Amino acid sequence: MTLKLFRVGMNMEEATIVKWHTQPGESFKAGEPLYEIETEKVNQEIAAPSDGTMIEIFAREGDIVKVGDQVCIVDLQLRTQGSLV
């Protein structure tokens, strides 16, 4: 699944990737920070939507990324009614 930069503030148009907390090949749990962004008004960690593995990073630390741009590809372990999909 490709993750894109989403708007965290009403007027946000872009953000700088400050730090990656997860590197390609590493596993993560739901809620753990994947990366951190900086906007004009706030720094924010972006959390994993579910358990998974980082596959590829498109936006490097220091890159300015526009809302809607791809930042990474992850392999998510989605759960439905207590079982893995």
- Per residue in 54-73, pLDDT (tens digit) is 999 999 999 999 999 999 99
Q: Looking at residues 1-18, what average pLDDT do you find? A: 93
Rounded to two decimals, what is the model's pTM? 0.86
Domain membership flag for residue 20:
yes
Domain membership flag for residue 55:
yes
Do 56 and 75 contact (CB within 8 A), yes or no? no
Domain membership flag for residue 49:
yes
Domain membership flag for residue 24:
yes
Domain membership flag for residue 60:
yes
Which residues form the domain of 69?
Answer: 2-78
Q: What is the CATH number of the domain that holds 14?
A: 2.40.50.100
Domain membership flag for residue 84:
no
* Amino acid code (one letter) for 58: F
Domain membership flag for residue 83:
no
Q: What is the DSSP string of 25-69?
A: T-EE-TTSEEEEEE-SS-EEEEEPSSSEEEEEE-SPTT-EEETT-
Domain membership flag for residue 74:
yes
Q: What is the CA radius of gyration of the chain?
A: 13
